[in-house]
Amino acid sequence: MTGTAVTSTVVAQADAGGPATSATDDVQDHAHDDAADDAPDDATQARPHVVPQDVGEPRVRVLGVRHHGPGSARAVRAALDAWSPTVVLVEGPADADPLTVFVGRDGMEPPVALLAVTADEPRRAAWWPFAVFSPEWQALTWAAAGGVPVRFIDLPAAVQLAHEASDEDGDQPQELRTDPVAALAHAAGYEDPERWWEDVVESRAADAAPFDVITDAMAALREHEPALPDDGSSDAPAHLLREARREAHMRQQIRAALREGHERVAVVCGAWHAPVLRGRLPAAAPDARLLRGLPRRKVSLTWSPWTTSRLALHSGYGAGVASPGWYQHLFTCTDRVVARWLVEVAGVLRRRDLPVSSAHVIEATRLAQVLAAVRGRPHPGLAEVTEATRAVLCEGDDALLAHVTADLVVGERLGTVPDDVPTVPLEADLRATARRLRLPFEAAPRTLDLDLRKDTDLARSRLLHRLALVGVDWGTTETSRTRTTGTFRETWTLLWRPELTVALVEAAPWGATVPAAASARVVADAAGSDLPGVTALVERALVADLPDALDGLLPVLDARAAQDGDVAHVLRAVPPLVRAHRYSDVRGTRVEALARVADALVVRACAALPGAVTGIDDDAARVLRADVDAAHDAVRLRDDPAGSELWWRTVSALADRTDVSGVLSGRATRLLLDAGHLDPDEAASRFSRALSRGTPARTTAAWAEGFLDGGGLLLAGDRRLLGVLDAWVGALRDDDFTDVLPLLRRTFGALPAGERRAVGTAVAQLGRAGAAAASADVELDPELVRAPLATVLRLLGAAT
């Protein structure tokens, strides 16, 4: 049967809404299988072909499905109800069978996923996601509700992860077969495979799906696929060998179920595999040979929460669907599907304060139905509903439509798993702690404002900081909207992602609880860090309230401080230590030892800075200027008299030097002025000398850059400084102006918009004052100015 003919049959049966024919019900000849077990190895090919079906009551029925589809899910449920199998076999890793006992329990709410993680390399993991509209999930829940045995029949995760590792090590090309749904859709005249599948299967009103016809279609497509060599040679292309082994394992599981005496065996698998699993199975010996000696890795498996957005194709999930939210609606809604969907759309828009009435919903429903009729579709699909939404409810606004797509078409919902699902102790501790602190795991971003003077908020902050230390970034911290100069508030954005479960598994070797894991991890990280890195870890350990980690960090910090001769490293180490010292007041931690280290580093920085600034160019000076600024702020925050006095002497000496980059000497002058160690007249005098004609233009521009960095309001408020700068710019030669313009543009471009406007206003006023002064000394001849004045007035539309 050709692909076109098969596709036409599928579409015709789907349009008629009739059930699949029974002539191709899957029949297994158990005696044949037993005989095949003893057949010679070359009796059949390793890649079986589709064989004719026996006539009679079937012992095995194969339900070929798409992995996530509401029509397929309903059809599987209906087929299981009608046939009542004695065992259900589901495509999925065979070593996950013990986890099927959790299906149907309280707290198990899809979307969820089977998670397999390798014991020796936790970063290597695999997922098998399930939604409520996944046919496999419906098969699992049907079996759980009826007490029917259920098993997974795909290659064990231990084998699959071992093969993925070997493929990466061998750098084998990942060849992919042609998308079978796309091929059938093209044969049926559809450009969009999603729309074809939705018309044929997912939007069907009847519960039955054309399983047998779809299987025939897949068989026709498989005839054009390259076959595995007859001897099952491992030299075959990796993707062919992988698929052949998977299907061989599935057949072995079917044979095992038949040998156990099951009278009715239901197999729920991807439609692509269905042709080689139905009918009379080939000899078992080639399958056994193909599976013999496969490498394995030690893995642990569990159930993990999943999100609807991770079921979407755009997430990179290969078996994803374009619209998981729409498919969820198709599965759960039994009547008036379009109207109910558009009511939900209206709710999304109303929550954004948009006036959407019931009349809008009625009109959009009619438009979607008309579009489907014009296009010859059996029912309005997502395309018609989306166009109706855009035209009627969003009034053509694609931005509003994007909100609908994000909230409904894709959606963002996080599934849940029971508390007794096996997991690593670290994850169990996190979930218990989060429950105690009332921190829900959510798939949508949530802003959390914390007041650290409250016990619960302080505990939440410590938990989130500890998780960040072990690489579990549940929350990202922001500058609090209510924070000024204090440290009593933090703002976090919380977002739980499925891959954080893997991050917890990776962090599990560090400890069984979050505090223990964070303490061990931070001490281990310090061993390979330089001085700024160790001080940053000290600060983070204090924020996270890890006293055990601090005991291990302080000796490392002392050693690094004594050995590191890089002045930039010393300068960068001071701010974290000073900030950490403040936490003794805010967070209740004891940090007396840090003050001693911080003061010693200030002394070392003051001793090393004069030599470090000699001979460096402007670019290197800009990098060092940032470190000087940070250390300067830290010294002022520390407010230690001895250290402050030493620091001011060092800064003053730097400001007086003419043999260093103007970026640094200009910046030192500004620091002295802002702190009151230099009066405004002296600062203006130094500014004027630095911008004198005897100094090269680029040198003066660098000095001005250093002096003006940190705010332009000083320049806007001090007309003397502004006048000096204006006069210097006005006196530049053309080539000098072209040379320094990029530097000046960078200096003023870095100012906030409000400060730039203030400086611009001050310059304009300065210009008007100069023009007025100049005009006071000039007498104009009325006869000479009459003609040009009349022209200007005419251009301005004024009477002459």
Inform me whether the pLDDT recorded for 35 exceeds 50.
no
Residue type, 700: T
C-alpha count within 13 angstroms, C-beta hemisphere, residue 374: 7
**pLDDT band, very low/low/confident/very high, at 466 (cuts 50, 70, 90):** very high
For residue 449, the number of C-alpha atoms closer than 13 Å in the C-beta half-sphere is 4
- How many C-beta atoms lie closer than 10 Å to residue 639's C-beta? 9
Asked whether the predicted pLDDT for residue 709 surpasses 80, the reply is no
Do residues 572 and 546 lie in contact, with contact meaning Cβ atoms separated by under 8 Å?
no
Q: How confident is the model at residue 766 (pLDDT cuts 50, 70, 90)?
A: low
The lowest-confidence range among 30-34, 111-115, 309-313, 337-341 is: 30-34
Measured distance CA(550)–CA(539) in Å, rounded = 9
Radius of gyration of the chain (CA): 37
User: Quick one: which of 49, 3, 58 has its CA closest to 26?
Assistant: 58
Q: What is the pLDDT of residue 521?
A: 93
Q: Cβ distance 26 to 60 under 8 Å?
A: yes
Taking the C-alpha atoms of residue 466 and residue 516, their distance in angstroms, rounded to an integer, is 9
> Is pLDDT at 210 greater than 90 in this prediction?
no
Q: Helices (DSSP H) in 306-357: which residue ranges?
A: 324-332, 337-350
- The sign one gets for the Cα dihedral 614, 618, 623, 626 is positive
Top pLDDT among 615 and 322 is at: 615
Burial letters for 35-69: b for 16+ Cβ neighbours within 10 Å, e otherwise? ebeeeeeeebbbbbebeebbeeebbbbbbbbbbbb
Q: To the nearest whole percent, how much of the chain has pLDDT over 70? A: 77
| Residue pair 155/119 in contact by the 8 Å Cβ criterion | no
- The answer to whether 259 touches 271, Cβ cutoff 8 Å, is no
d(C-alpha 342, C-alpha 365), whole Å: 7
Say if residue 288 is exposed, middle or buried (CB neighbours under 10 Å; 0-12, 13-18, 19+): middle
Tell me whether residue 292 is exposed, middle or buried, using C-beta atoms within 10 angstroms of its C-beta: 0 to 12, 13 to 18, 19 or more: exposed
Q: Which residue would you say has higher pLDDT here, 469 or 747? A: 469
Q: State which amino acid sits at residue 139.
A: A
pLDDT-derived band at 453, boundaries 50, 70, 90: confident
| DSSP, residue by residue, 536-585 | HHHHHHHHTT-HHHHHHHHHHHHHHHHH---HHHHHHHHHHHHHHHHHHH
**Which stretch of 503-507, 528-532, 732-736 has the lowest confidence by average pLDDT?**
732-736
Phi, psi of 460 (to 5 degrees): -65, -45
Q: Write out pLDDT tens, residues 771-796.
A: 444 445 556 677 777 888 788 777 66
What separation, in Å, do the N-terminal and C-terminal C-alpha atoms of the chain show?
94
**Angle at the Cα of 472 from the Cα atoms of 466 and 477, rounded to 5 degrees:** 65
Tokens linked to 341? 């969907």
Phi, psi of 741 (to 5 degrees): -60, -45
SS3 495: coil
Token pair belonging to 641:
């008299």
Instruction: Output the pTM of the full model.
Output: 0.66
Q: Give pLDDT, residue 475.
A: 93
Mean pLDDT in the chain? 78
Q: Name which residue leads in pLDDT, 66 or 29.
A: 66
**288 vs 284: CA distance, rounded Å:** 6
Closest CA to 452 of 595, 549, 589: 589
Helix, strand, or coil (residue 258): helix
Residue 676 confidence class, pLDDT cut points 50, 70, 90: confident
